[in-house]
Amino acid sequence: MTAKNTSINKIVLSYSGGLDTTAILKWLQETYDCEVVTFTADLGDGDDYGPVRQKALNSGASEVFIDDLREEFVKDFVFPMFRGNTIYEGEYLLGTSIARPLIAKRLIEIANETGAEAISHGATGKGNDQVRFELGAYALKPDIKVVAPWREWDLTSRESLLKFCETHQIPVDRKHEGDKSPYSMDANLLHISYEGGILEDPNAEPEESMWLWSNSPEAAPDSPTYIELTYKGGDITAIDGVEMSPATVLTHLNKVGGEHGIGRVDIVENRYVGMKARGCYESPGGTILLKGHRAIESVTLDRELGHLKDDLMPRYASLIYNGYWWSPERIALQALIDDSQRYVNGVVRLKLYKGNVIVVGRESLTDSLYDGNIVTFEDDAGAYDQKDAEGFIRLNALRLKVASKKNRKMI
């Protein structure tokens, strides 16, 4: 084929080693007559990346990057997001969304290192990921070129991709149809997602065999597990008194949470590109992170500051979901969120049982705003004068009384 853009001599491809990106690698070489460098991010999905490296080289990659980004992912992306108690449309913990800005960042870094003029990805034209990858790339390198094959080529089905690979003598691992997962899946340390297959019917219950990380609540242990989370500056630094790195924290919480059936979500979400889509997610560790963080904030965070964070959270969640991690408004919101966490220090005790995360204790020896001497139902020794409440109520009722006297009926 004739190259579509002769100014592109090298492209960095976000490469998983699956059918789509394997076909894309060859298609880029053929269509753009250029070198292709592949980049694979290890974000904790548990895969063995040795075969991925070999497959990329066998398929003609001029250079292969496989980077272990697990610690950076949790420390610089997941933890900052959870400082905001971030959740999209009331349920989704943004497991896929938060990984994309890191991948975009590394794609641009590799493009700079290798002298590539363009990057490429395997996201389809129907999804959010194309937006997330490309907004991130343009924010970090405005003159970068982006090649999105799913918006250009005429390969529109699995069979057409297989035929393309066969024509170009590209080895593809064709699993037996009965062994092939019917779902489109994405996994990292924060979650695993499932889309497609029977899930395209929003009224169809997922098969139990679909879930890979968690027991069902019915099959979870009959005895609870108690865990103790230590927080410093809003981040977990230790579990049950054992200090852990950010990635180790999330790995541990995924394991114990999954055992107890925690973190399953089945939602119909609103994609940024305009359509509704049904997805199922497993986020055992993230579910525990959210519950624990809100618990430690409940005793350490000022009331109005906490309410302000809650007001801003849906906007912050939408920025991440829609791909604006590298935007000035997200960075400004993050500065506010991070400043709010200065006194979010202490310990939270949780009980994990049959799909539930139950707060059973929270304590901050140095930064708690909870004063038992004030709130007690017993004798408070003058710490709080109950007569003060009368004037407080009268002042707050004043506007209501004035409106009522003007016959502005509320019912």
CB neighbourhood size of 238 (10 A): 15
Residue type (1 letter), 178 = G
Say whether 100 is catalytic: yes
- Give, for 308, the enclosing helix (H) or strand (E): helix 303-322
Look at residue 311 in the predicted model and tell me its pLDDT: 98
pLDDT digits (tens, 9 = 90+) for 351-369: 999 999 999 999 999 999 9
Distance between CA atoms of 55 and 38, rounded to whole angstroms?
Answer: 11
278 and 243 fall within a common domain? yes
Q: Is the pTM of this model over 0.85?
A: yes
175 and 197 fall within a common domain? no
**Structural domain of 282:** 184-301+343-363
Q: Which of 129, 193, 362, 364 is catalytic?
A: 129
Tokens 């003029």 sit on residue: 117
Distance between CA atoms of 330 and 328, rounded to whole angstroms?
Answer: 6
How many structural domains does the chain have?
Answer: 3
Cβ-based neighbours of 330, under 8 Å, separated by 6 or more: 316, 319, 320, 324
Looking at residue 268, which CATH number applies to its domain? Answer: 3.90.1260.10
Look at residue 176 in the predicted model and tell me its pLDDT: 35
357 and 262 fall within a common domain? yes
Please, what is the Cα angle at 153 between 151 and 157, to 5 degrees? Answer: 95
355 and 272 fall within a common domain? yes
Residue 6 binned pLDDT confidence (cut-offs 50, 70, 90):
low
Look at residue 165 in the predicted model and tell me its pLDDT: 85
- Average pLDDT, integer, range 100-122: 98
Say whether 184 is catalytic: yes
Q: Which of 33, 45, 76, 184 is catalytic?
A: 184
In this predicted structure, the answer to whether residue 124 has a pLDDT above a threshold of 60 is yes
Residue 107 lies in a domain: yes
Q: Which of 83, 100, 106, 362 is catalytic?
A: 100
Say whether 342 is catalytic: no
Strands 10-14 and 35-42: parallel
pLDDT digits (tens, 9 = 90+) for 147-192: 999 999 988 877 888 888 888 888 776 543 344 567 889 999 999 9
Say whether 380 is catalytic: no
